[in-house]
Amino acid sequence: MTIHSLYILSKSGGLIYQLDNNIPTIENEKTFSYPLEVKLEVQNRNIMVVYGQRDGIKVGHTLVSVNGMKVTGQQLDDGRDAMQVLANETNYPINLKFARPKLTTNEKIFQASMFYPLYALACQLSPETRSSGIETIESDNFRMNCFQTLTGVKFMLISDPKQAGIDTLLHRVYEIYSDFALKNPFYSLEMPIRCELFDEHIKGTLEQAERLGISSI
């Protein structure tokens, strides 16, 4: 029973609500000797593994700490440049910690607005007549379910591929949305949802669904 995150998109494709419920932290720490066995490169202002997967460190993971000292972007907390530290043989053996990068708020907004045209394209490229847009996307280790209401609002849940009954949960989320966002006089349509009651109910429902199963909601 794992529900990773929830996205709500407005009719025009903007992200109006996002909640990370249960995102696993993937971190790996290892002591390296000179020369480094993984190839690192600066990408998107982060130091990223581009080649040489080993001991759980995967391509795409970013460097988060050097000898226990946090790395922000390319800089160590004491102001040194991490790439220069890594290039210097005298600093070895060195302890590096890599983690799978988490999406920043900006990236989430970006990804959400990217889903909107994908949904429309799936409709257009359909080999069958009168097809809807994407309802689920599945890969080997996660599944995304999307429920679009008649008014065009999209609810997206990211969960474990084995998780059953997501449809029920999505309908429940819709219900909470209509009860606590739409009926809130201070909420204006198409704007990000910042309603305390809505937040509380969504979190409660997701938690309950994870703990007791979706049939209990």
Answer yes or no whether residue 129 interacts with another protein by CB under 8 A. Answer: yes
In this chain, which of 137, 182, 192, 208 binds another protein, going by CB under 8 A? 137
Q: Candidates 23-31, 36-44, 186-194, 203-211 — which segment interacts with another protein by CB under 8 A?
A: 23-31
Two structure tokens written together for 214: 């979706």
CA atoms of 51 and 37, how far apart (whole Å): 9
Answer yes or no whether residue 141 interacts with another protein by CB under 8 A. Answer: yes
Q: In angstroms, what is the minimal distance from the CB of 139 to another protein?
A: 5
Number of CB atoms found within 10 A of residue 31's CB? 10
Q: Which helix (H) or strand (E) holds 85?
A: helix 82-87
In this chain, which of 27, 29, 81, 135 binds another protein, going by CB under 8 A? 135
Cβ nearer to another protein, comparing 58 with 80: 58
Answer yes or no whether residue 107 interacts with another protein by CB under 8 A. Answer: yes
Number of residues near another protein (by CB under 8 A): 39
Answer yes or no whether residue 122 interacts with another protein by CB under 8 A. Answer: yes
Q: Candidates 27-35, 125-133, 191-199, 204-212 — which segment interacts with another protein by CB under 8 A?
A: 125-133
Answer yes or no whether residue 114 interacts with another protein by CB under 8 A. Answer: yes
Q: Candidates 62-70, 141-149, 170-178, 193-201 — which segment interacts with another protein by CB under 8 A?
A: 141-149
- Is omega for the bond preceding 93 within 30 degrees of 0, making it cis? yes
Cβ nearer to another protein, comparing 32 with 142: 142
Residue ranges with strand state E in 37-186 = 39-43, 46-51, 62-66, 69-72, 75-76, 94-99, 136-139, 142-148, 154-159
